[in-house]
Amino acid sequence: MSINGKYEACIGLETHVMQKTQTKMFCGCKHEYGAAPNTNVCPVCLGYPGALPVLNAKAIELCCKAGLLLGCKINPHSKWDRKNYFYPDMSKNYQITQADQPLCLGGQIVTEVNGEQKTFTLERIHQEENAAKNTHDKAGSLVDYNRAGTALMEIVSTPCMHSADDAFAYIQALKLIMEYGGISDCDLEKGHMRSDVNVSVRPVGQEKLGAKVEIKNMNSPSFIVEAIKYEIERQIEVIENGGKVVQETRGYDSDRGETFSQRTKEDAHDYRYFPEPDLLPVEISGSQIAQWKSELPELPVQRRERYVKELGLPDYDAKVLTAEKSISDFFDAACKKTKQYKLVSNYMMGKVASLVTEKGIRVVESKLTPEALAQVADLVSGGTIGSSAANELIEILFTAGGDPKVIVEAKGMAQVNDDSALEKWAEEAIAGNAKAVADYKAGNPASINSLMGYVMKQSKGKANPPAVIAMLKKKLDT
Amino acid sequence: MANLNTKTISELSDLLEQGKCTSVEIVNDVLAAIDARDGKINAYLTIDRTSALAQAEAADKARAAGKKGALLGIPLAIKDLLNVKGQPCTCSSKILEGYTAPYDATAIAKLREAGAVFLGRVNMDEFAMGSSTESSAFKKTRNPWNTDHVPGGSSGGSAASVAADEAVAALGSDTGGSIRQPAAFCGCVGLKPTYGMISRYGLTAFASSLDQIGPITKTVEDSAILLEAMAGKDEMDSTSIDLSVPDFAKDLTDDHSLKGMKLGLPKEYFVEGMDSEVEKAVRDAVEHCKKLGAEIVQVSLPHSKYAIAVYYIIATAEASANLARFDGIRYGLRKDGADPIELYGKTRAAGFGPEVKRRIILGTYVLSSGYYDAYYLRAQKVRTLIRNDFVEAFKQCDAILAPVTPTPAYKIGEKTNDPLKMYLDDILTTPVNLAGICGLSVPCGFSKAGLPIGLQILGDSFKEVNILKVGHAYEQTTTWHKQRPEFS
C-alpha cells in the first residue's frame, strides 16, 4: 500500500499481554487487580536482599499456548536474562526477561482488513515480569508494587504492517485470540494489553527500512490508529521537506492527537543484558508441547466456521457473534438448549445487543441466561408467543431474570389461536372498515393488512398473525 | 562446667544430651568470652543477648520435652549477609545500616527448626567483597592469633569469632574463597559446599553463580553436622539441587584410614611466590595423608591460572546487577534527591564503600554494549575450561590437596592500597567456585611467627563425603586444630 504513490509505511508492534495467572511470575504473591496498594508483595517482588525468583509454571504454559495459538515454534531450550535499568517501577533495578532465547519463535496472525484477508508475521514471544505502578502528583511519587513481578508476555511482530488499519486489525485479532485462548482477559482498562508501535517510512521500491520511530506504551487501539496516522504523515513531511527522520522514542499526546519526542538514539539505554544466574534454562519436551496442543481451545475463526457449517448461520451472523468471546460463549451455551440457532442469533444481534448498549452492561453481567434465551426461541418457534412479546420477554429477562414460561403466563403474553376470539375480531374488522374490504374485493390484496392491523390492535398484539390472515381470508372470500 | 565456649558442637551436643550443661550456660559462656575479648578482636557487629538467652531457654525446654538433635541449643555466629528474621543484616555496609531482615534465609530456617541459637551477627568485607574484612564499613576485625594481622575475608568475623572461642561455630559464605581463606588464616575448619548444595535463598547475593553458604567450625565433624542440617533442595532457590542428603557426620569413621583413596596433587597450585613455610606445611600434610594410606597422584589443572581474571569479570558483572536493588527507595539508607536518578546517585555514593564501588564499576563495564563479548562471554568460556580441568582430574582421584593461600595472614593495612595484589591472593580458591565443586580448609601447621596455615581439600560436585573423610582423618591424627590462640 503506497501513500501518494511515493511512500510506504512499515509498522511493527511489540504487544505486552498480562497473562491470566493466579500468582506472580517469580513469587507466590497473588495477581489481583484493585487490591490496596502494596498488599500483594513479598521479599521476592520487592527485591529484598537475598530473595530469589522461582518460575511460575502456569505462566510458561500460557505463554507457550499463546505461541501455539499463533502458530509459533516452541523453543525447546529457552533461557532468562537480566535487563538492567534504574527506575522505581523495577524493584531489583533489573527486569528478568528473555533476550536471545525466547519461549516462542515465529508465528502469524491471519485476519481481515477492510474485507481483504492478510497475514501478519510474528518474530517471537518472550516471557518477562511486569513493572510496578508509579503514580505522580504534586505531593510526590508513589509506587504500588502489587503489579511488580506479574507475568507479562511480549508478542513481537515483524514490520509487516503498512497502515493504521492493518495495525488496528492486527490488535483486534490478537486480542480475540488471547481472550478465546484463555491466555489473558485483555481488559484494556486494567492495562492487560499495551503496545509499543514502531513506525518507519520508505520510498516505494526501497528495500531497506527507514529510520524507526518507536511510540511507547499505548493501550487504546484507537489511539494507536491515531498515533500511526500522525506519525506516517509527520515522517513523510520531514522527508518531503528534505529532512531526515531521526531514530527515536516518541510519546503520544491523545489530547492533541500528536506524537512528541522523548529520547533519541544517542541517549538510549544500554541495558547490559546478561544471563540470569538465579534461574535455570527452560527445557520443553515434545510430549509437553503435544499435551498443550491437545488442550487448546477453539479460536474465533474456527468458531465462525462451525457456526456456518454446523449451525447453518449466515457468515455475517457468525462474524458478529464471534467478535466478542463472552457473546460467542453465551450463544454457544444457548444453542446447547435449543435447535433454533438462527432465532437465537437474531435475538443476540438484535434485542440483546440493543439492551447491552442501552443498559451499558455486558450480556454476562445481565440477568439473562443462555437457557432462558433458548426457551424464548422455542416459545416463538412453537407459536406460543409472537415476536413483539418475545422482545418484551427478553427485556424482562435481561433486567430482572426469571422463568420465561412463568413470565409469559403471568403477563398473559401468549398468542391467541382460539378461533372464536379470532372470528369475533375478524368480523368486527370487516364491519368497521368498509373501504378496505371494498379495495380487497376490487383486487387489492394488500389492503388486508389494514384489517389485520385492526385485529392486532384489538388483541393487544396477542393474536397469532398467520391465523388472523387465514381467518380474514376465510370471511372475505366466502 | 566451665568454658563451654571452647568446646565443639559435637562435644556440647553430648554434654547437653547427658544433662551435664544447658544451652543457657553455653550461651552465657559465649557471651562472657565476647565481653572479655571482642573489644580487641572486633568479630561481632551486633549481639542480641536477650533474644539469644530466650532462644537458649526455649531449646532447653524443648530438650526437656523430648526434642533431640546435634544442634539443639547450640549458639551460632552468623555472617552479616544472611537474613535472620528480626535481626539486622547490614552486609557490613552503610547502605543497609538500620535494616531489619523481614524473613529467615532457608538455611537459617532449617537451623532454627533444628534448635540452633542465633546469637549475633559477625563482621565481613562489605557485601563480601574483600579478602581481609578490612572493607567493612563498621570495624576492623583482628586475627586472634596475632591482632596486628587480618583474619582474612570476607567471612573474617566468622573465622575470628570461632578461633577466639567467641562462638562455638559460625556461618559464612564463599564466593571466591571467603570461607576457606579466613578459616586458614585463623586456624579453623571452613567448608565451601558444592554449588546448589545449600539453598541461597536469604543469602544477600554478591555473585549469584558463585555464592554458597557454608560453616566455619573448630572441627571437620562440626562442619559435617552443619552441612547436613542446611543441605537440600529448596523450592525458593531454583539452583538448589534435589539430592538425598547423606548423613555426613555419621559417615566420619574413627579408623582414620585413607586406604583405597587417591588424592591428587595439582602441580599448578604450588605457585611462584608462595611462602616457603606454607608450601612445606602443605607438602608435609600430603605426606601425612600418604601415611594414612592414601595414594598420591599428580593431576593438572592448567586453566586455573586464568581463574583470577575470569572470577573478577563474572563476579563483578553479577554483582553490578545484584547490588542495583540498594537504591534508597524501599529500605536501607536514603539520601534524597530532586528526582529518582539523583536520589540513587546520592544514596549509593554515600552508602557504598570504595571496594564495592570499584567492583560495581568494573562489572558494569564488562557488561557494557561493545565489551560484553570480549569480557563476559569470553570469561564464561574460560570458566568452562576451568571446570573441565576438574572433571578430568576427578577421573584420576577422589580428592585434590592444595594450599588455601599463598601466604599466612598478612598485616592489617598491608594490602589495602593495592587491590590487585589482594585479588591475586585468591588464586588458589577462586577456581573451586568457578567450577562449582566443593572445598574444605583444615589447619595443617603454623608459621614461625605463629600464624596458622591451611590445607585445602577439593572434591568433585556433591562429593562432600570424600573431602570430609580426608579432612577428618587428617585432623584427628594431627593436633593443629587443638591449638588455641592465647589471650592476655
Task: Please say if the pLDDT value at position B213 is more than 90.
Answer: yes
Chain A positions touching B82 (Cβ under 8 A) are: 50
Residue contact B329–A55, C-beta within 8 A: no
For residues B252-257, average pLDDT? 87
Q: Are strands A7-18 and B452-459 parallel, antiparallel or unpaired?
A: unpaired
Q: How far apart are CA A44 and CA A459, in angstroms?
A: 72
Give the up-direction half-sphere exposure of residue A376: CA atoms within 13 A in the CB hemisphere: 31
On whether any CB of chain A is under 8 Å from the CB of B51, the answer is no
**How far is B424 from B428, CA to CA, in rounded Å?**
9
Test the A interface: residue of B330, B361, B376 with most A CBs within 10 Å: B330
pLDDT at A417 over 80: no
Q: Yes or no: say if B396 and B262 are a contact pair by the CB < 8 Å rule.
A: yes
Mean pLDDT, residues B244-273: 89
A259 beta partners:
A252
Residue B147 has pLDDT above 80, yes or no: yes
B239 and chain A: CB distance < 8 Å anywhere? yes
pLDDT-derived band at A437, boundaries 50, 70, 90 = confident
Cβ–Cβ gap B330/A86 under 8 Å: no
Asked if B308 contacts B424 with a C-beta cutoff of 8 angstroms, the reply is: yes
Residues of chain B contacting residue A53, judged by C-beta atoms under 8 Å apart: 238
B162: which 3 cell numbers? 570461632
Q: How far is B369 from chain A (nearest CA, A)?
A: 6
DSSP characters over B329-388 = SSSS-----SSHHHHHHHHHHHHS-HHHHHHHHHHHHHHSTTTTIIIIIHHHHHHHHHHH
pLDDT digits (tens, 9 = 90+) for B35-88: 999 999 999 999 999 999 999 999 999 999 999 999 999 999 999 999 999 999
Residue B233 one-letter amino acid = K
**Cα(A73)–Cα(A312) distance, integer angstroms:** 35
CB A52 within 8 A of CB A45: no
B71 C-beta neighbours (distance < 10 Å), count: 27
Taking the CA of residue A60 and the nearest CA in chain B, the distance in Å comes to: 15
Q: What is the mean pLDDT of residues A352-362?
A: 93
Residue type, A416: V
Between CA B373 and CA A20 the distance in angstroms is: 37
Q: State residue B383's pLDDT score.
A: 98
- How close A269 gets to chain B, by Cα (Å)? 10
* B89 close to A (CB below 8 A): yes
- Whether residue B239 and residue A49 make contact (CB cut-off 8 A), yes or no, is no
User: Chain B residue with minimal CA distance to A275?
Assistant: B318
* Alpha-carbon distance values, B248 to B116, B152, B251 (Å): 18, 27, 5
Question: Which residues of chain B does A279 touch, with a Cβ-Cβ cutoff of 8 Å?
Answer: 238-239
Contacts of B372 in chain A (CB under 8 A): 272-274
pLDDT of residue A447: 81
Query: Once rounded to an integer, what is the mean pLDDT over residues B158-185?
Result: 98
Is the CB of B325 inside 8 Å of chain A's CB atoms? yes
A→B contacts (Cβ < 8 Å), by residue, are 43, 46-55, 82, 84, 86-88, 91-94, 141, 143, 270, 272-274, 277-280
- Annotated active-site residue B369? The verdict is no
Average of per-residue pLDDT values in chain B: 96
The arithmetic mean of pLDDT across residues A132-147, rounded, is 90
Note the maximum CA span of chain A.
Answer: 98
Q: How far is A119 from chain B (nearest CA, A)?
A: 35
SS3 content of chain B, % helix, strand, coil (to 5): 45, 15, 40
- What does DSSP assign to residue A165? H
What pTM was computed for the model?
0.89
- Tell me how close the Cα of A404 comes to any Cα of chain B, in angstroms: 54
The mean pLDDT of A95-110, rounded to a whole number, is 97
- Residue B488: per-residue pLDDT: 62
Contact B205 A86 (CB under 8 A): no
Give this complex's ipTM: 0.96
DSSP B404-451: S-SSS--BTTSSTT-HHHHHHGGGGTHHHHHHT-EEEEEEEEE-TTS-
Q: Is the pLDDT of residue B94 over 80?
A: yes
Least confident of A32-46, A93-107, A162-176, A403-417: A403-417
Q: What would you report as the CA-atom Rg of chain A, rounded to the nearest whole angstrom?
A: 30
* Contact status, residue A455 vs residue A429, Cβ threshold 8 Å: yes
Q: What is the pLDDT of residue B343?
A: 95
- Is A54 in contact with B372 (Cβ distance < 8 A)? no
Provide the 8-state DSSP code for B146: B
Say whether B321 and A82 touch across the interface (CB within 8 A). yes
Closest listed residue to residue A477, CA positions, set A447, A444, A440: A440
CA B221 to chain centre: 16
Helices (H) and strands (E) in chain B, counts: 15, 11
Q: How many helices (H) and strands (E) does chain A have?
A: 16, 17
Q: Which long-range contacts (CB under 8 A, 24 or more apart) does A344-351 make?
A: A344/A373, A344/A374, A344/A377, A345/A313, A345/A317, A345/A321, A347/A373, A347/A376, A347/A377, A347/A390, A347/A394, A348/A321, A348/A373, A349/A317, A349/A320, A349/A321, A350/A391, A351/A390, A351/A391, A351/A394, A351/A395
**B96-120 pLDDT tens trace:** 999 999 999 999 999 999 999 999 9
B110 is catalytic: no
In the predicted model, is pLDDT for residue A389 greater than 90? no
User: Which residue in B13, B155, B178, B223 is the catalytic one?
Assistant: B178
CB-CB under 8 Å, B204 with A50:
yes
What gap in Å lies between CA A436 and CA B309, rounded to an integer? 107
**Best residue in A23, A27, A52, A145 to probe B by mutation, most B CBs within 10 Å?**
A52
Looking at B7, B10, B13, B79, which residue is catalytic? Answer: B79
DSSP string across A250-311: EEEETTTTEEEEEEEGGG------EE-TTSPPEE--HHHHHHHHHTPPPPHHHHHHHHHHTT
Looking up cell 578490612 gives B134
pLDDT range class, residue A1, cuts 50, 70, 90: low
Give me B437's grid cell.
Answer: 565443586
pLDDT tens column, A294-337: 999 998 889 999 999 999 999 999 999 998 888 999 999 999 99
| Alpha helices by DSSP H, B234-306 | 276-291
Residue B68's pLDDT is what?
A: 96
Write out chain B residues lying below 8 Å of A54, CB-based. Answer: 235-238
Contact pairs from chain A to chain B, CB under 8 Å: 104
Q: How far is B209 from chain A (nearest CA, A)?
A: 6
